[in-house]
């Protein structure tokens, strides 16, 4: 039989698109810290010698955007002009407008209220979706992180690449970098081995052999488990042979261009919207978090070995227009019953999502590199397993 191979990639915090994501989320955090009701949709572009911030913000807060931009760039590691991008000397431009009042009409008071429906409780329960769209969540018991193995390994490699650079274990590595991992699966869907490991890292102008040796010994060897290796595992390091020019000098970066890296590595479909720079009234962000929270708790409760959930919203309406699940034949109860259990256990209105996951806090900058899901280095509320017992109770298991 042909090999069953699946690949996922991750990028470091110094990748230009991730630089843009982190700037956008740093601005969001600064606004939420002063005014939790801030409405934010910030986009960032970075290129050689310049960062440009634009978007829509409605807030009572005052923040120093250029300072936030510079501090974020410096924290990432762009501290020297020789990298082609330097947080102290780059130009910072901004063009910010207020949120459209047409959007605010539906967010502030959901369509259901205007149609005479009861949306009890409190102010948050009356929040309508900030846009239309579909959102996906997923969990699997394949790994302790409840994530697909290829994206778990890819993220570990990029985090290791950054750790080696920041800990000065080698002075050869610069901030920009990528990892890609290909895993071979058997017919039952179990991971057999790692087929290919690919690392591309920006580096000092030194011979290729030095870079390859440092990456293999200090990045790949500590991360790829021995039980997933064999003599046929392929290792590719900087396949072109040279990656000196990188970061925003080598490629312009934009907020929201790494949504597959942000989620499940391409294992499941992805909704149309990106996450970074958006406050939680935007269901592009908050409903993706809720979908992950639900899927992870369902799998942890033993109701399925893996689960995908899709949510869809209409702008201005609080309740989703559709909820769909797929347990890939692994559900321990009938899937129609499982959907009933999920609908009984969780409230998918945007305001209730914000309450359940406590999203009106400055927690977003940490999400903007190395994935939003399955993280063990930081605590995110959508990764909690606090709904397991209720799910088990409601399912009768």
Could you say which of 36, 56, 108, 305 is catalytic?
A: 56
Q: How many residues does the chain have?
A: 397
State the Cα–Cα distance between residues 203 and 82, nearest whole angstrom.
11
Could you say which of 6, 13, 15, 131 is catalytic?
A: 15
Longest dimension (CA), the chain: 71
- Closest of 78, 72, 48 to residue 175, by C-alpha: 78
Could you say which of 61, 104, 252, 300 is catalytic?
A: 252
Beta strand 4-11 pairing with 173-185: antiparallel
Could you say which of 29, 43, 176, 262 is catalytic?
A: 43
Whether 284 is a known active-site residue: answer yes
Could you say which of 13, 17, 176, 184 is catalytic?
A: 17
Whether 17 is a known active-site residue: answer yes
Structure tokens given for 364: 């977003």
DSSP 123: G
Whether 227 is a known active-site residue: answer no
Could you say which of 126, 165, 257, 349 is catalytic?
A: 257
Could you say which of 278, 288, 306, 319 is catalytic?
A: 278
Task: Please compute Rg for the chain using Cα positions.
Answer: 22
Could you say which of 9, 18, 145, 179 is catalytic?
A: 18
- Closest of 311, 324, 352 to residue 128, by C-alpha: 352
Could you say which of 251, 305, 347, 390 is catalytic?
A: 251
Whether 60 is a known active-site residue: answer no
Whether 178 is a known active-site residue: answer yes
Could you say which of 70, 155, 174, 178 is catalytic?
A: 178
String of DSSP letters for 132-196: -EEEEEEEETTSTTSS-HHHHHHHHHHHHHHHHHHTTS-SSEEEEEEEEEEEEE-TTS-EEEEEE
Could you say which of 52, 85, 136, 243 is catalytic?
A: 243
Q: Which helix (H) or strand (E) holds 23?
A: helix 16-34
B/e letters for 89-108, b = 16+ CB within 10 Å, e = fewer, are ebebeeeeeebeeebbebbb
Whether 282 is a known active-site residue: answer yes
CA angle 265, 269, 270 (to 5 degrees): 80
Could you say which of 165, 282, 285, 288 is catalytic?
A: 282
Whether 115 is a known active-site residue: answer no
Whether 231 is a known active-site residue: answer no
Could you say which of 284, 288, 348, 372 is catalytic?
A: 284
State the Cα–Cα distance between residues 15 and 175, nearest whole angstrom.
7
Whether 15 is a known active-site residue: answer yes
Could you say which of 126, 174, 258, 372 is catalytic?
A: 258
Whether 332 is a known active-site residue: answer no
Whether 252 is a known active-site residue: answer yes
Structure tokens given for 258: 């790494």
Active site amino acids: 15, 17-18, 43, 56, 178, 243, 251-252, 257-258, 278, 282, 284
């Amino acid at each position: 039989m042909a090999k069953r191979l699946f690949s996922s990639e991750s990028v470091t915090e110094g990748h230009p698109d991730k630089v843009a994501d982190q700037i956008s989320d740093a601005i969001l955090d600064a606004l939420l810290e002063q005014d939790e009701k801030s409405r934010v949709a910030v986009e960032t572009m970075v290129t050689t010698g310049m960062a440009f911030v634009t978007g829509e913000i409605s807030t009572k807060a005052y923040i120093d955007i250029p300072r936030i931009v510079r501090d974020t760039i410096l924290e990432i590691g762009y501290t020297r002009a020789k990298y082609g991008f330097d947080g102290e000397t780059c130009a910072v431009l901004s063009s910010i407008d207020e949120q459209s009042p047409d959007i605010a009409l539906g967010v502030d008071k959901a369509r259901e209220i205007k149609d005479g429906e009861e949306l009890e409780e409190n102010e948050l329960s009356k929040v309508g979706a900030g846009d239309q769209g579909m959102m996906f969540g997923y969990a699997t018991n394949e790994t302790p992180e409840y994530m697909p193995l290829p994206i778990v390994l890819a993220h570990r490699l990029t985090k290791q690449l950054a750790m080696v650079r920041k800990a000065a274990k080698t002075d050869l590595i610069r901030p920009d970098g990528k990892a890609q991992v290909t895993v071979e699966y058997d017919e039952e869907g179990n991971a057999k081995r790692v087929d290919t490991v690919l690392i591309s890292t920006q580096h000092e102008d030194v011979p290729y052999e030095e870079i390859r040796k440092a990456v293999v010994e200090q990045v790949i060897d500590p991360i790829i488990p021995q039980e997933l290796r064999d003599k046929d595992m392929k290792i590719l390091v900087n396949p072109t042979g040279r990656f000196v020019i990188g970061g925003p000098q080598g490629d312009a970066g934009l907020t929201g261009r790494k949504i597959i890296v942000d989620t499940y590595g391409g294992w499941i479909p992805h909704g149309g919207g990106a996450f970074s720079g958006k406050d939680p009234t935007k269901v592009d962000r908050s409903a993706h978090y809720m979908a992950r929270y639900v899927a992870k708790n369902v799998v942890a409760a033993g109701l399925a070995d893996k689960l995908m959930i899709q949510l869809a919203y209409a702008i201005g309406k609080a309740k989703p227009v559709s909820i769909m699940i797929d347990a890939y034949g692994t559900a321990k109860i009938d899937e129609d019953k499982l959907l009933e259990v999920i609908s009984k256990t969780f409230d998918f209105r945007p305001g209730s999502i914000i309450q359940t996951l406590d999203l009106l806090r400055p927690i977003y900058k940490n999400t903007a590199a190395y994935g939003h899901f399955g993280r063990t280095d930081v605590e995110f509320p959508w990764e909690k397993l606090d709904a397991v017992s209720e799910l088990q109770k409601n399912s009768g298991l």
